[in-house]
Chains A and B, each alone.
Chain A
């Protein structure tokens, strides 16, 4: 088999979507909740597709995608807070069409109730598997602050989640 010469060729983007699409969607769901998660996923991968040919060889593709998803999620949260100020309306959750689509765990709802920084640090550390140093680079602040935010979130989840779990 031919081996790729590093720095010259890149994987087809299709492989990037297949490999990292599910993780990025879990991140978008954990940070944004149900309403905007798929929009943010779509915007993340479109932005990534656009920039992909210029990505440096040997880049950590997962961290690159999570960083883009982080920014796209913030855009949605800002837009949502403007909506609240202007219209005083909270967007409705899409109706369930019978298929759970991976939303059946009560843990998503427990996550949604956490403050933003806790949702972000939990998503990047526990759902993606990033070390806290890398999490801190994305969310800002120190490594310790990122670790504390995640720990506070986990402590709350331990109180709220098992009770809400009906399975």
Chain B
């Protein structure tokens, strides 16, 4: 004689195809209702798996695997909105541009950006970074000067270290005045790789 729990254990688990279909449907209705505050996906690149997240305004976060994607999503929930779903479609354009960049077929990004995770001087620094052209580098001191605070060299360093949009906002092009490469949010190895990729073009 089966007991009641065993009776219901006989019910099959929900299969993958149904889960995927329901998830996609939720993404669609949430998007249509204006409730998909943050959409995200991951993308494989030569510098590892990148997490891409976008609000309705634009790309809000690019994160290296070393930053811990689960932790990054938790912080997005806290700092932007907990209405977060894995919804690749909103990031198709960004993903395509990043793939082209790593294939050396693209030197600038022209997707809309949402800089809400960066404030004050840090945000001002980030807004100047695209002025450093593809394949070029600039010193932390030069960027400090461009941002209007020639003495704020260390603050430029921390703006780069906290760049919410690495790769797309090119903080990897900022190096030390003595010519050494300096730190990078994705690790020094990734910074080397990006600079090598750009200089080989």
How would residues 123 to 166 of chain A score, 1 for a CB under 8 Å from any chain B CB and 0 otherwise?
00011000000000000000000000000001001100100010
Q: How far is the CA of A100 from the CA of B18 in the complex (A)?
A: 10
Check if A12 sits within 8 Å of B12, measured CB to CB.
no
Stretch in B20-28, B139-147, B176-184 touching the partner: B20-28
Q: How far is the CA of A10 from the CA of B13 in the complex (A)?
A: 28
Q: With an 8 A cutoff between CB atoms, is B110 at the interface?
A: no
Docked complex: B1-39 residues within 8 A CB-CB of A: 4-5, 7-8, 10-15, 17-19, 21-23, 25-26, 29-30, 33, 35, 38
Check if A102 sits within 8 Å of B29, measured CB to CB.
no
Q: With an 8 A cutoff between CB atoms, is B105 at the interface?
A: no
Q: With an 8 A cutoff between CB atoms, is B149 at the interface?
A: no
Check if B23 sits within 8 Å of A2, measured CB to CB.
no
Check if A102 sits within 8 Å of B85, measured CB to CB.
no
Check if A52 sits within 8 Å of B83, measured CB to CB.
yes
Instruction: Give the size range of A's interface with the partner.
Output: 35 or more
Check if A42 sits within 8 Å of B25, measured CB to CB.
yes
Given A13-B84, A14-B85, A52-B83: A102 touches B78 (CB 8 Å cut-off): no
B residues contacting the other copy or chain, number (CB 8 A): 36
| Residue among A38, A41, A101 making CB contact with B15, cutoff 8 Å | A101
Chain A residues in 8 Å Cβ range of B18: 25, 38, 101-102
Q: How far is the CA of A58 from the CA of B18 in the complex (A)?
A: 30
* Cβ-closest chain A residue relative to B25: A42
User: What are 6 A-B residue pairs whose CB atoms fall within 8 Å in the complex?
Assistant: A13-B83, A21-B19, A42-B22, A46-B30, A50-B33, A107-B10
Which 9 A-B pairs rank lowest in CB-CB distance, beginning with the nearest? A12-B84, A9-B78, A10-B82, A22-B14, A102-B12, A12-B73, A12-B77, A102-B14, A126-B8
Q: In the complex, given contacts A14-B85, A103-B12, what are 13 additional A-B residue pairs having Cβ atoms less than 8 angstroms apart?
A: A10-B77, A10-B82, A21-B19, A38-B21, A46-B35, A50-B35, A52-B82, A52-B83, A53-B82, A102-B13, A102-B18, A154-B7, A161-B7
